[in-house]
């Protein structure tokens, strides 16, 4: 059983006057594994005061941006115990050089968490699941982003239109993985950006009755 150190203990309390680790105290208060790791940590040649380090930033400094990114990863990442294969699957969303809000949007789309008409209807929040933009069929994520005739207007001015027309109905994660296997990273980033612009335009119509030009949004 290890004795507890006082709550106000700092690193300098574990270093002697010769500027070496106090091995006996460390071994007395920490587990064998922790003690070995501490004792293997090199000390600076010149004694320095303790400083606070934010380990989630390469410079060791906390910023609102780094804190926000950490919060997003903790909130929206998959189970920490998931397999490497599962983590690799989600890299198609998280590893892209696009704004964080767009990554979060696509993660929600891939998880079927967007408030589409179908999802709201299943929760008994609206009367029917029909797409309010085209009135042709139920609005799920795939329909809203790729199948709706209003969404197709934007896809038509991209290089992906012919490919999009032939994509069978599927979940967005599978679709992105398929695209990533055939397209460049920049192409996939643009596809995600187009999806975000379509959803933004859709929301402007649903909530404000405005026909927002998605081309302006994606630009």
What confidence score (pLDDT) does residue 84 get?
Answer: 44
Say if 45 falls within a structural domain.
no
Number of domains in the chain: 1
Say if 4 falls within a structural domain.
no
d(C-alpha 121, C-alpha 201), whole Å: 21
Q: Are 172 and 107 in contact (CB under 8 A)?
A: no
What confidence score (pLDDT) does residue 61 get?
Answer: 87
Say if 178 falls within a structural domain.
yes
What confidence score (pLDDT) does residue 10 get?
Answer: 82
Q: How far is CA 120 from CA 28, 114, 116, 134, 141, in A?
A: 58, 9, 6, 17, 12
Q: Are 120 and 126 in contact (CB under 8 A)?
A: yes
What confidence score (pLDDT) does residue 85 get?
Answer: 44
- The three state secondary structure string of the chain is CCCCCCCCCCHHHHECCCCCECHHHHHHHCCHHHHHHHHCCCCCCCCCCCCCCCCCCCCCCCCHHHHHHHHHHHHHCCCCCCCHHHHHHHHHHHCCCCCHHHHHHHHHHHCCCCCCHHHHHHCCCCCCCECCCCCCCECCHHHHHHHCHHHHHHHCCCCCHHHHHCCCCCCHHHHHHHHHHHCCHHHHHHHHHHHHHHHHHHHHHHHHCCCCCHHHHHC
Say if 74 falls within a structural domain.
no
Say if 41 falls within a structural domain.
no
Say if 195 falls within a structural domain.
yes
pLDDT along the chain (219 residues), means of 10: 73 85 89 90 77 81 81 58 51 81 92 95 94 94 96 92 92 90 91 94 91 60
Residue 118: give the domain boundaries: 82-218
What confidence score (pLDDT) does residue 18 get?
Answer: 84
Say if 37 falls within a structural domain.
no
What confidence score (pLDDT) does residue 3 get?
Answer: 62
Token pair listed for 180 = 């990533």
Say if 164 falls within a structural domain.
yes
What confidence score (pLDDT) does residue 79 get?
Answer: 43
pTM: 0.60
């Amino acid at each position: 059983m290890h004795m507890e150190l006082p709550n106000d203990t700092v690193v300098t309390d574990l270093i002697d006057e010769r500027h070496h680790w106090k091995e006996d105290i460390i071994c007395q208060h920490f587990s064998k594994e922790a003690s070995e790791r501490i004792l293997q940590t090199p000390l600076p040649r010149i004694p320095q005061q303790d400083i606070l380090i934010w380990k989630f930033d390469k410079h060791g400094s906390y910023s609102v941006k780094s804190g926000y990114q950490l919060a997003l990863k903790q909130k929206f990442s998959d189970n920490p115990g998931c397999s490497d294969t599962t983590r690799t699957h989600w890299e198609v969303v998280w590893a892209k050089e696009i704004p964080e809000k767009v990554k979060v949007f696509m993660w929600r789309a891939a998880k079927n968490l967007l408030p589409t008409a179908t999802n709201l209807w299943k929760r008994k929040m609206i009367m029917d699941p029909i797409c309010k933009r085209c009135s042709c069929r139920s609005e799920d994520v795939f329909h809203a982003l790729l199948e709706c005739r209003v969404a197709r207007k934007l896809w038509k001015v991209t290089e992906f239109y012919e490919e999009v027309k032939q994509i069978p109905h599927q979940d967005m994660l599978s679709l992105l993985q398929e695209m990533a296997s055939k397209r460049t990273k920049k192409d996939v980033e643009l596809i995600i950006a187009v999806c975000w612009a379509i959803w933004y335009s859709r929301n402007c119509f649903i909530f404000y009755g405005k026909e927002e030009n998605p081309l302006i949004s994606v630009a």
